[in-house]
Amino acid sequence: MAHKSLFAPASKSKAADTINQAGGRAYAFSAEHTLAQYAATGTFNRTYYASEDEQLQTVLDLAQKVDPAFLARTTLYCREKGTMKDMPALLAAVLSTRDARLLGRVFPRVIDNGKMLRNFVQIVRSGVVGRKSFGSAPKRLARAWFSERSPENVFRQSLGNDPSLQDVIKMIRPPPKLATGEVDAAREALYGYLIGRDVPHEKLPPLVQAFESFKKDPSSWQGDVPDVPFEMLTALELDTERWTAIAKRMSFTQLRMNLNTLLRHGVFGNEGMVSLVASKLRDPEQVRRSRLLPFQLLAAFKAVKEDMPAEITMALQEAMEIAIENVPTVSGKIFLCPDVSGSMQSSITGYRKGATSAVRCVDVAALVSAAFLRRNTSAEVIPFSDDVVAMPRRLNPLDSVMTNAQYLASLPSGGTACSAPLRHLNRTGAKGDLVIFISDNVSWADFGRSVPGLVAGTAFGLGKGTRATVMAEEWDRFRARNPNAKLVLIDIQPYGSTQMHERADVFNVGGFSDSVFELIALFSKGQLGAEHWLSVINGVSLD
């Protein structure tokens, strides 16, 4: 029999045109697609293959290459759909140097809270986008941010440093005036108070007056704890009763992030408080309004102490079921392929001292797989590293998403061969309709199998006779047997290349928010056009 590797049918996929960070063949994204990928996954922390400086410079270069309108739409997409923070602030700062009119249209939707305003100011003042001064348009927009919020709202958002909101006030000098042009006495007093001036107590907004009075002597305070962000109170000596009052007012996000703090202060010694907190955590409206990323619930679940009441941990699992409700139910046979290789063991938000998430890329890949399995119970899960990874036990689709995600994330690791699941399906003659990969897409361990004489892990040049990636070749074989099948590659790290180039049956999408689920649902139904993901971003309204 003729040598199958040497005399295989010509691939329908085009030849690879770049080398990825691990030295394997790949397809480069366009500038627009690469920017979209960074916008949905980039955190400016060190990843497995790239430093924070490299990521920043790449994004700055890309943001100058694309059309300003696309830059504006990408800024909106990564804030409103991807719920990112640093990235949209950076893109807005770049937009301020390219098109002030477009900046004005996106600013209120992107810079939508105090943290985002501080991020934007910090980035502009750093000079990384080519300017250190605000200029008239950014300053006008930042002043409008203050004027559109009540003094009490401004005070509640005055948390954080480097820069603080106080620093921002000093920089831009927002006028303390009403829409009529009259001076707002409470606003004027608040601005003075925030920048450290001696302001008469009675002129401050009532909330600030209450906060200052409470600070002086919490033990003798009569009535409810002032309705301020609890972070403003944590430096004070507060008893369990006060912490219980604070917990009753916490938002969903504050509860999710501070369960161990409440446990430590004895709040959960009261069974009524356990039930109240659990009810809020499992409340569908609260979950949706929080705009959280599903992996943030996984982080909270993994972080809770062993003596956390069972009702609380169960509520987190129920909240996860709500957070992934956008996972589509797809007709036909689905194969889910989570990457459990070595590079996927890195933190999903990258490495930065004091700000490294305990949730890894592999946790997110496992979570997405478990979420799809929960809604599509006949789906088959095929984890892989340098080959398909055998699972000691079969996943039960009716188990909680948390349970299945933790099991998948615990599987043994290895190199990265994105072709492995497809090669397995082709070897077994499998029939299917949708194949979903969740990976960083930096494949290298499969190229030695594709080209005789090459050793896996070495650099593969792109000279004469370059072939398609091994994954592309395997996908062509799968499609020959399943002509209507579709392939989705969910990319969860920003590296700018893929193992399967864009075409009608292939969807490359970046990110780990539930908006990715929505896009896969549209793609599986044939409701996305050419250049699928970019068509979504180009469809973002600037109005």
SS3 542: coil
Q: Which residues contact 492 (CB under 8 A, 6 or more apart)?
A: 41, 348, 361, 364, 365, 438, 439, 440, 510, 511, 512
CATH number of residue 489's parent domain: 3.40.50.410
Shared-domain flag, residues 384 and 498: yes
Q: Is the dihedral of CA 70, 72, 75, 76 positive or negative?
A: negative
| SS3 track for 339-391 | ECCHHHHCECCCECCCCCCCCEHHHHHHHHHHHHHHHCCCCEECCECCCECCC
End-to-end CA distance of the chain: 64
Query: Which structural domain range is residue 483 located in?
Result: 18-26+330-531
pLDDT tens digits in sequence order for the chain, 543 residues long: 444 433 344 447 889 888 898 888 999 999 999 999 888 887 666 666 667 788 889 999 999 999 999 999 999 999 998 888 889 999 999 999 999 999 999 999 999 999 999 999 999 999 999 877 888 899 999 999 999 999 999 999 999 888 999 999 999 999 998 777 888 999 999 999 999 999 999 999 999 999 999 998 888 888 888 989 888 988 888 899 999 999 999 999 999 999 999 999 999 999 999 999 999 999 999 998 887 878 889 889 989 999 999 999 999 999 998 988 878 888 899 999 999 999 999 887 766 666 567 788 899 999 999 999 999 999 999 999 999 999 988 899 999 899 999 999 999 999 999 999 999 999 999 999 999 999 998 999 887 544 333 333 344 444 434 589 999 999 999 999 999 999 999 998 888 899 999 899 999 998 877 788 888 888 988 888 768 888 989 999 998
Residue positions counted in the chain: 543
Dist CA 150 CA 167 (whole Å): 19
Dist CA 495 CA 488 (whole Å): 17
Domains in the chain: how many in total? 2
Shared-domain flag, residues 224 and 335: no
Shared-domain flag, residues 384 and 518: yes
Shared-domain flag, residues 190 and 339: no
| Domain stops at, among 228, 251, 280 | 228
Shared-domain flag, residues 445 and 512: yes
Region of residue 441 (left: phi > 0; alpha: psi -120 to 50; beta: else): left
502 inside domain: yes
Shared-domain flag, residues 91 and 178: yes
463 inside domain: yes
Shared-domain flag, residues 378 and 518: yes
| Domain stops at, among 228, 259, 281 | 228
93 inside domain: yes
> In whole angstroms, how far apart are CA 57 and each of 34, 42, 175, 475, 489?
13, 12, 36, 34, 25
| Domain stops at, among 174, 202, 228 | 228
- Crossing angle, helix 114-126 and helix 86-98, to 10 degrees? 50
- Residues linked to residue 338 through DSSP beta bridges, in sequence order: 438
334 inside domain: yes
Which helix (H) or strand (E) segment is 506 a member of? Answer: strand 506-510
